[in-house]
Structure 1
Amino acid sequence: MKLPTDHSFFSSIRRLLHTYNLPTAYQLLESPPSKEVWKTKLNSAVDQHTVATWQEDIQEKPSLKYINTDALSVGKTHHLYTYVRPNRIDMLTAETKAKLLTGTYTLLANRAVFNQYAVNEPS
């Protein structure tokens, strides 16, 4: 019989259950939850883990200090993406809007600051 290694399927399941504070595999085998109960519990555990990870990142990374933690909502689409249709143009437009909102879009004026060559401005 082959012993489970750290990369085995069972070890991965054990780590996942532990990461999300879910019952152990043995507990699930002894009293398996219904599909609806399991889905609810799993979604709740993943949401809680995601929020906890966000909170840690916000505390550790100074670039995230202006994020409003009260407005964080897991599982809800940001209003920017509410009206985006699944086509390429709308997706690119939404991406550009998100970059503008977050201040990560490089404007032409900012690009000139990082350019090593002098830029002649039109008169």
Structure 2
Amino acid sequence: MELFYTEQKNVLLQYSLPSLEELLASLPTKIKWKQTVRYAINTFWSNRFRSLSKEKSTLNRLCTDTINIGEIHPVWKIASEIPGDTKKTITKARILTGTYLLQATKAKFNIGNTDPICPLCKLEEENLQHFLTKCPTLEGVRRTFYAPINTGCNQ
């Protein structure tokens, strides 16, 4: 029984929840307690995620200030049930996490004796900067997506 009490005390302490004595003194309703616990756990893990994400190279492009435990990341919110949109969202998520394999990455790790040159324009090494901002073959796609961003910033 003492082990159970100790474990409960540690869990309540970890999530900054009231002690068992405080809870017994003023017993909250079931709904209020569930809200309090959910908020405490989500806050704890959101803060823990933010602190640990600074050490992870695959998370350095994500704005971790906008990510909360229990909520969907903004990239995934725009995915609809149309298969093409889901594939686009997967690509965006891979770019954000640095797991999208570009030619330069494949060549670096010698995946299939890959040439680091961009297969679309064949002008220079395909790295993230080239893929997102320089490749002339993707200029039309960039123009489509940059126009709304630029007009939104000028308002």
Q: Provide Cα deviations, 1:21-80, integer angstroms capped at 9, x if missing partner.
A: 001122222321001211221122112212321332245x26355543442334321233
In structure 2, runs of 5+ residues without a counterpart are 120-155
Question: Which among 30, 40, 50 is matched to residue 55 of structure 1?
Answer: 50
11 and 95 in structure 1: CA distance in 2 versus 1, 3 angstrom threshold = farther
TM-score computed with the length of structure 2 as normaliser: 0.53
Structure 1 Cα separation of the partners of residues 111 and 77 of structure 2 = 40
Within a 5 Å distance, the mapping from 1:62-101 to structure 2 comes to 63=57, 64=59, 66-82=61-77, 95-101=90-96
Cα separation, 1, equivalents of 2:92 and 2:34: 34
C-alpha distance 92-65 of structure 1, shift in aligned 2 (>3 A): closer
1:16 and 2:14 aligned? no
In 1: Cα distance, 2:40 partner to 2:60 partner = 25
Aligned counterparts of 1:78 and 1:69: Cα–Cα separation in 2: 10
For residue 77 of structure 1, give the secondary structure of its aligned residue in structure 2: coil
1:73-107 CA distance string (max 9 Å, x none): 34321233336679xxx988755542233221223
SS at match of 2:28: coil
The RMSD of aligned alpha carbons is 3.7
Identity rate of aligned residues, in percent? 30
Matched residue pairs, number?
A: 117
Indicate the residue corresponding to 1:26 in structure 2: 21
Q: Which amino acid aligns with 2:70?
A: G
Give the structure-1-normalised TM-score: 0.63
Query: Relative to structure 1, is the Cα distance of residues 77 and 102 closer, same or farther in structure 2, using a 3 angstrom cutoff?
Result: same
- Runs of 5+ unmatched residues, structure 1: none
